[in-house]
């Protein structure tokens, strides 16, 4: 497949004054502050006129009065990754990094993402929506145990619970429903977990995740030193290429752009299943996209620069064909 065009910028001055949007009010505020601070520091090292703007503090006023030319979105979760801030920036006429309103909104909704992935003919774990306690028995009958209970509109594994017996389902459902969004159950995949970072139309080398916990939860993602990240991921070249192809097809199916991450699990038959798509992945010391970029020879500051390049008009468009980078 033909690789997408990269908007190559070689002069920091071409970016103008950049707002690094971070923080916000979502359940992922803590991680966003870490990501945004790291991004801001990287841009400064590269000579970019970058400034932190906390989206929790009158973001409209700050953007209007700041004289900014574009925004590097380092917001995770609701209000930053769901199309909300993207819509505001569109109204203001301010270019920004990553996916547009549509792609951001779709990917933040895990349930709709799964439906589109299914529609594209790609594998994803079986799932059922849970509306009330009256659905518990039928969901167990259809999916079996163990299963994962998920809120449809949260990221970073927030609100997820692994349920191994029926007695635990009520508490798991209540915890997920507490995030004021749809709740669904997903069948438990027993194989290994992999992630594919997408950058300007290319898939970077895949990473295998070996979590110390029963699954790759919030603590394992951002704070645990017990989680192991393996890159090269150990898959044979053909299988890795297949996951990369699936990642690109999923990215296109949901309208994602610029950069992001596609997460996989292998099932009992070693078939890849797509879990979710992240349009603003973490950029912390434990984050996966920087790890994948490093494996490709792209150091952190260069990665942050390349993501900022996606803020230019004519950035990635899902109507164009995209390519897979050499994973070696």
Active site (annotated) includes residue 166: no
* DSSP one-letter string for 165-227: SGGGHHHHHHHHHTTSS-EEEEEPP-S-EEEEEEETTEEPPPEEEE-SSSS--HHHHHT-SS-
Sequence ranges of the chain with CATH classification 3.30.470.20: 193-309
Active site (annotated) includes residue 222: yes
- Per DSSP, what are the bridge partners of residue 186? 127, 148
Sequence ranges of the chain with CATH classification 3.30.1490.20: 126-187
Active site (annotated) includes residue 257: no
Kindly report the CATH number that applies to the domain delimited by 12-97.
Answer: 3.40.50.20
Active site (annotated) includes residue 28: yes
Name the nearest CA neighbour of 273 among 250, 241, 306. 250
Catalytic residue among 194, 216, 218, 222: 222
Kindly report the CATH number that applies to the domain delimited by 193-309.
Answer: 3.30.470.20
Q: What are phi and psi of 312, to 5 degrees?
A: -80, 150
pTM: 0.87
Topology annotation, domain 126-187: Dna Ligase; domain 1 (3.30.1490)
Sequence ranges of the chain with CATH classification 3.40.50.20: 12-97
pLDDT (tens digit, 9 = 90+) per residue, 239-279?
999 999 999 999 999 999 999 999 999 998 999 999 999 99
Low-confidence winner among 93-97, 120-124, 203-207, 286-290 (lowest mean pLDDT): 286-290
Low-confidence winner among 12-21, 34-43, 176-185 (lowest mean pLDDT): 176-185
Catalytic residue among 263, 287, 306, 311: 263
Catalytic residue among 29, 78, 261, 306: 261
Catalytic residue among 77, 282, 306, 311: 282
Q: Using an 8 Å Cβ cutoff, are 326 and 202 in contact?
A: no
Catalytic residue among 276, 287, 306, 309: 276
pLDDT (tens digit, 9 = 90+) per residue, 161-184?
999 999 999 999 999 998 888 999
Active site (annotated) includes residue 156: yes
The number of beta carbons lying within 10 Å of the beta carbon of residue 227 is 18
Active site (annotated) includes residue 218: no
């Amino acid at each position: 497949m033909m690789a997408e065009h990269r908007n190559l910028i070689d002069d920091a001055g071409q970016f103008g004054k950049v707002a690094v949007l971070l923080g916000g009010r979502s359940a992922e505020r803590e991680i966003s502050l870490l990501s945004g601070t790291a991004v801001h520091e990287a841009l400064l090292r590269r000579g970019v006129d970058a400034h932190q703007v906390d989206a929790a503090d009158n973001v409209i006023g700050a953007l209007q009065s700041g004289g900014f030319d574009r925004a590097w979105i380092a917001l995770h979760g609701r209000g930053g990754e769901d199309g909300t801030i993207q819509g505001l920036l569109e109204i203001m006429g301010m270019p920004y990094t990553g996916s547009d309103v549509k792609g951001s909104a779709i990917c933040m909704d895990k349930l709709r993402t799964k439906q589109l992935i299914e529609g594209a003919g790609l594998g994803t774990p079986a799932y059922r929506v849970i509306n009330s306690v009256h659905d518990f028995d039928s969901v167990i009958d259809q999916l079996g145990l163990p299963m994962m209970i998920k809120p449809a509109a949260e990221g970073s594994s927030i609100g997820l619970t692994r349920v191994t017996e029926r007695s635990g389902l009520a508490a798991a459902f209540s915890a997920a429903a507490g995030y004021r969004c749809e709740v669904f159950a997903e069948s438990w995949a027993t194989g290994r977990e992999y992630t594919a970072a997408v950058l300007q139309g290319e898939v970077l080398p895949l990473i295998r995740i070996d979590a110390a916990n029963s699954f790759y939860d919030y603590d394992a993602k951002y704070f645990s030193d017990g989680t192991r990240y393996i890159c090269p991921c150990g898959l044979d070249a053909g299988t890795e290429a297949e996951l990369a192809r699936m990642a690109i097809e999923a990215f296109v199916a949901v309208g994602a752009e610029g950069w992001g991450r596609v997460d996989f699990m292998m099932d009992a038959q070693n078939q890849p299943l797509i879990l979710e798509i992240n349009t603003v992945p973490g950029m912390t010391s434990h984050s996966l996209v920087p790890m994948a970029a490093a494996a490709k020879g792209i150091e952190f500051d260069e990665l942050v620069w390349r993501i900022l390049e996606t803020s230019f008009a004519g950035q990635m468009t899902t109507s164009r064909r995209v390519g897979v980078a050499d994973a070696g």
